Amino acid sequence: MREIRVHGRGGQGAVTAGDMIVIAAVMGGEFGSSFPLYGDARRGAPVVAFVAIDDQRIRLKTQVYTPDCLIVLDSRQKDWPETYKGVKSEGILVVNHTNTIEQQPHPNIIKAGAVDATQIAMEEIGIPAFNTCMLGAFAATTEWIELDSILGALEKTFSGEILKKNIKSAERGYKEVKGSSW
């Protein structure tokens, strides 16, 4: 089982990103589950989504304490120590950030992918809806899920013009993510 924790803020699409990873995993023939942790709905408040993917049905109903991968939508949270809590050795970070991650952010992180998802989303979608771009970067960095499955998940979530724009954004995230490893 691979566990993912998505860190963001209310309104950034952390929960939707988690859901789309599950849809993509299922389209790729695997099982998955995701659920968010937030109290009363508030834009801007930190939000965490817990995702698990596996080749069998996920029975565990707990939060993710030992993630294999962190997806950080809000670049400031990459500097928060609590973001890395419990991350497994050989952990992977995917972050919405303008520059390549030069410094190893945590001893357990051995691979990072940075993409300027906010900029790409502004160019392709016209609003800072950068979660779908981050899914492209996630697919490229982890290689756990095919880009095609991510695009399939987008098709199940959006339609029309919005779908087209989000597909462009996800494809660019996939291509333009800048990797580093330690």
Nearer to another protein, 26 or 122 (CB): 26
155 binds another protein (CB under 8 A): yes
Could you tell me the smallest distance in angstroms from the CB atom of residue 27 to another protein?
A: 5
130, 12 in Cβ contact below 8 A? yes
* Beta carbon of residue 9, minimum distance to another protein (angstroms, whole number): 18
Does 28 bind another protein (CB under 8 A)? Our answer is yes
Q: 112 and 101 in contact (C-beta within 8 Å)?
A: yes
From the CB of 136, what's the least distance to another protein, in Å?
14
d(CA 137, CA 131): 10
- Min dist. Cβ of residue 96 to another protein (A): 22
H or E segment and range at residue 5 = strand 2-9
Straight-line distance from the first to the last Cα atom of the chain, in angstroms, rounded to the nearest whole number: 23
Q: Which residues contact 151 (CB under 8 A, 6 or more apart)?
A: 167, 170, 171
Check binding of 160 to another protein (CB under 8 A).
no
Angle of the 160-176 helix axis to the 147-157 helix axis, nearest 10: 160
Of the pair 60, 89, the CB lying nearest another protein is at: 60
Verify binding: residue 36, another protein, rule CB under 8 A. yes
Using CA atoms, how far apart are residues 138 and 17, in angstroms rounded to an integer? 10
The site string for another protein over 61-100 (x = CB under 8 A, - otherwise) reads xxx-x-----------------------------------
List of residues contacting another protein (CB under 8 A)? 18-19, 22-23, 26-29, 31-37, 39-40, 57-63, 65, 146, 148-149, 151-152, 155-156, 164, 167
